[in-house]
Amino acid sequence: MTPTGATPPSVYPLPAPGGTDPRFTYGLLHDIAEALQRNGFPRPEGTDWAHLMTCLGGFLYQPKETR
């Protein structure tokens, strides 16, 4: 529980999965695109889908360490 007026700690980004995350699907991207459209944004087209996937992955997961 946080004190009144305090900002709760962030949940995202999550630790990067070791493999693929079965929740991170094209269906999820489609649902997000539909939410954008319901709020007046245009439907993604062409390379917009790849950009959306990249941005969502960056929001959801911590970068994997490279060595």
pLDDT tens across 20-43, in order? 999 999 999 999 999 999 999 999
Q: How many domains, the chain?
A: 1
- 48 lies in a domain? yes
pTM: 0.78
- 67 lies in a domain? no
- 65 lies in a domain? no
- 13 lies in a domain? no
- 40 lies in a domain? yes
Domain that holds residue 39: 26-60
* DSSP3 helix / strand / coil % (the chain, rounded to 5): 40, 5, 60
Q: If you average pLDDT over every residue of the chain, what do you get?
A: 91
- 56 lies in a domain? yes
- 18 lies in a domain? no
CA 29 to centroid of chain Cα atoms: 9
